[in-house]
Amino acid sequence: RKEVEQDPGPFNVPEGATVAFNCTYSNSASQSFFWYRQDCRKEPKLLMSVYSSGNEDGRFTAQLNRASQYISLLIRDSKLSDSATYLCVVHYTGTASKLTFGTGTRLQVTL
Amino acid sequence: SQTIHQWPATLVQPVGSPLSLECTVEGTSNPNLYWYRQAAGRGLQLLFYSVGIGQISSEVPQNLSASRPQDRQFILSSKKLLLSDSGFYLCAWRNKGGFQPQHFGDGTRLSIL
């Protein structure tokens, strides 16, 4: 089983739609969690950290479920500019120096 | 604020030629530094990481090597490139401690002919 698993998609949604991605992780000793966004042929960029109580940043909401070992990202009112690949990232306490990246979920927002 | 510089942006090299990619970070000290490779349409593959000057950890066996001659400088090298070395190379930095995200450079797109 992969350490971090994501549905590769693509998720094709119309503008204005709400879309949610899930990401599961295998190591219960995971300490911190992030969502990154990667545009085609560009570097990944931090979208948001994921806090235990859940957190929101504008149209984006991140949730953490430690019991079921998954994190989620909800995007409301999708924009064309949200089209990208979204990477789930996990930091394990036993690997102090390394973050583990999922392979990403591709989102395509259409008119 | 912290910034990361990675160069060159694109590189075309013949098989068997040497390689040197450089990455520098500004605005922070004693960061963790990382080199990743991403093949087209694939996920990130961690190649090397460093927690300090002269300290290099290798994640996968390959014909690449890394060095950290200064606190905020990370270099990726090869003596003889293979066709399979083509890809998108990304340098990243991260402050030490938990709950710290990673920040990436703009990347180098390497094509081997």
* pLDDT(A80) > 90: yes
Query: Which residues make Cβ contacts (< 8 Å) with residue A67, sequence separation at least 6?
Result: none
Percent of chain A with pLDDT over 70: 96
| Cβ–Cβ gap B98/A93 under 8 Å | yes
Closest by Cβ to B101, choosing from A46, A97, A103: A46
* pLDDT(A73) > 70: yes
Closest CA to A107 of A6, A9, A5: A9
Bridge partners of B11, per DSSP, are B110
Bridge partners of A91, per DSSP, are A32, A99
Rounded to the nearest angstrom, the minimum Cα separation between A61 and chain B is: 18
Closest chain B residue to the Cα of A49, Cα to Cα:
B101
Residue A109 dihedral angles phi and psi, to the nearest 5°: -100, 130
Q: Please tell me the predicted confidence (pLDDT) of residue A96.
A: 62
Q: Please tell me the predicted confidence (pLDDT) of residue A92.
A: 81
Residue-wise pLDDT for A11-65, tens only, equals 999 999 999 999 999 988 878 999 999 999 999 999 999 999 999 999 999 999 9
* Mean pLDDT computed over every residue of chain A: 93
Q: Which of residues 92-111 of B touch A (CB under 8 A)?
A: 94, 96, 98-107, 109
